[in-house]
């Protein structure tokens, strides 16, 4: 059985990043959305990326962005030394296309229509998150996983939204997704990672 990958999102320090890698993370998210309490600047993101890459582990650093222009995104990837981008705003499928294969769309899901909209985005990977009015993500809310059961078979799907050590094994068993994504579920406070919670989360994924 294929192992589900783990993405720890909203990492804000190089020390936390390296610790998450050592605990088994396959990907780390650095957030560039200024309204988020987990946001970082380019210098911090670059320090995180360099620390992660220096471990030699197969762990990618993903820049979480929203509604930025193509030139700005390419400069961000270069300057922050990112491996990939997660487009979390109102981007259209055509805006994702030129960034492939090192980018994917995050889609907020509350109904079947949202899943159909997700299918319109190109590329192998997709992320699905809970749809909460006025928020782009990181809300700690869970959505109805049955809505994306077929999508999990069609694409390399990352599942986010209210996951934590107590429910992530259920999500993995229900969907067998490519990856699960967590931010608030492994924190003391927004942007402050709790490494004991990270360990418990990874262990729960592995046990599913």
Query: Catalytic amino acids?
Result: 9, 129
Q: What are phi and psi of 40, to 5 degrees?
A: -130, 165
Spatial CA neighbour of 145 closest among 166, 132, 163: 163
Q: What is the DSSP letter of 131?
A: -
Are the C-beta atoms of 121 and 93 separated by less than 8 Å? yes
d(CA 27, CA 25): 6
Are the C-beta atoms of 49 and 80 separated by less than 8 Å? yes
Instruction: Give the Å distances, CA to CA, from 46 to 8, 117, 146, 163.
Output: 17, 33, 37, 27
d(CA 131, CA 111): 9
């Amino acid at each position: 059985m294929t192992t589900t990958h783990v993405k720890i999102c909203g990492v804000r320090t190089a020390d936390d990043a390296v610790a998450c890698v050592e605990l088994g993370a396959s990907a780390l998210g650095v957030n560039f959305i200024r309204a988020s309490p987990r946001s970082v600047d380019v210098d911090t993101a670059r320090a995180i990326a360099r620390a992660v890459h220096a471990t030699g582990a197969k762990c990618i650093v993903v820049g979480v962005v929203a509604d930025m222009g193509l030139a700005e995104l390419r400069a961000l990837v270069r300057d922050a030394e990112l491996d990939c981008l997660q487009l979390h705003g109102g981007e259209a499928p055509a805006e994702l296309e030129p960034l492939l294969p090192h980018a994917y769309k995050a889609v907020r899901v509350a109904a079947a229509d949202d899943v159909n909209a997700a299918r319109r985005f190109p590329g192998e990977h997709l992320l699905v998150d809970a749809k909460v009015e006025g928020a782009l993500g990181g809300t700690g809310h869970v959505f109805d996983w049955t809505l994306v059961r077929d999508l999990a078979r069609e694409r390399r799907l990352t599942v986010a939204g209210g996951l934590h050590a107590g429910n992530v094994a259920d999500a993995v068993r229900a969907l067998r997704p490519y990856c699960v994504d967590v931010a608030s579920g492994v924190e003391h406070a927004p942007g402050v990672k709790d490494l004991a919670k990270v360990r418990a989360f990874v262990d729960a994924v592995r046990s599913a």
